[in-house]
A and B are shown apart, each in its own frame.
Chain A
Amino acid sequence: MIGLELTLVNIVHLENVVINGFNGDGIEIFDVGAVFVKDSIVRNCAAGTAIYAGRTSSGTTIVSIDGARLEGNGYALVADSGTRLTVRNTAASRNATGFWFRSAGAFGPRWQRSRT
């Protein structure tokens, strides 16, 4: 079971959210315009990923994470094809793997300027 699945929506803001103990991904993002996660916790999704973002079609998903705690998950964060990701002030601990930036499909993640 997935904690929160976001699919085919335009913009989502998640603030002060706690997701705990799902056996799938904590937050799963597919084909979304933009997702902003702030001051939130995703923990103990041991068989899944705390935050997974990817696309099944062309286009770009913007994901911004600020002030998150990602604890005790299979992966802390996976950014797949078509994702433009910014992470700031985030701690990931006791996950099997931390941050995985991959391009499993045809729509590779592209460069984004560093925060200044």
Chain B
Amino acid sequence: MTVSDTTTFQTSAFLAEGGSHVTIRNSAAVRSLGNGFSVAESTLGTEMVVDGCLASEHNYNGFLAGAAGGSGTALLTISNSVASNNGSNGIVAGTNGTVRAFSNISTRNSYGLNGQNGTFESFGNNAVKGNYTMETLGPITSVPTM
């Protein structure tokens, strides 16, 4: 599934689950009571690829992989995107979740990048500054680009 040049304002913006494979490009998710972009783990392997997107002013997380209380895997690949002013994390790998991040901005969230409960791989060039509680939480694994 492909989404591009799209804007959402509501309770929860983009949710992928059940083994769906989604690509989202040039889209904004703003001001919800939940998460901006979230990928729920599934035994079928749920995947979301995000490029050039904005997640701002969500009560919880801007970009989230995993932590849906199920089993299986959730993979979020995110590049050239901005997470700002979210109540919890800018970009987070939760339980059963993997995030692969390159060239993103995370600012004015509670936590900038969070790999505490999942696998967070950074391919570099992420700008993480100005988050309120901590810039990063948990292990952020640096992976070289090719």
Main secondary structure of the interface of B (DSSP, over half): strand
* Closest-CB distance, B94 to chain A (whole angstroms): 18
Q: Is the CB of A114 within 8 A of B2?
A: yes
B133 on the interface (CB 8 Å rule)? no
* Closest-CB distance, A13 to chain B (whole angstroms): 19
Identify the 9 closest CB pairs spanning chains A and B, nearest first: A103-B18, A98-B8, A85-B1, A93-B9, A101-B20, A111-B21, A98-B13, A101-B16, A87-B3
A1 to B15, alpha carbons, bound, how many Å?
Answer: 26
**Which single member of B3, B14, B19 contacts A103 (CB below 8 Å)?**
B19
Q: Is the CB of A83 within 8 A of B1?
A: yes
Residue of B nearest to A87 (CB): B3
Please report A residues at the B interface, Cβ cutoff 8 Å: 76, 79, 83-104, 108-115
B44 on the interface (CB 8 Å rule)? yes
Q: In the complex, what residues of A have CB within 8 A of residue B42's CB?
A: 103
* Closest-CB distance, B8 to chain A (whole angstroms): 4
Q: With A99-B13, A100-B15, A109-B20 known to touch, is A87 a contact of B25 (CB < 8 Å)? A: no
Q: With A79-B1, A98-B14 known to touch, is A103 a contact of B20 (CB < 8 Å)? A: yes
A94 to B31, alpha carbons, bound, how many Å?
Answer: 10
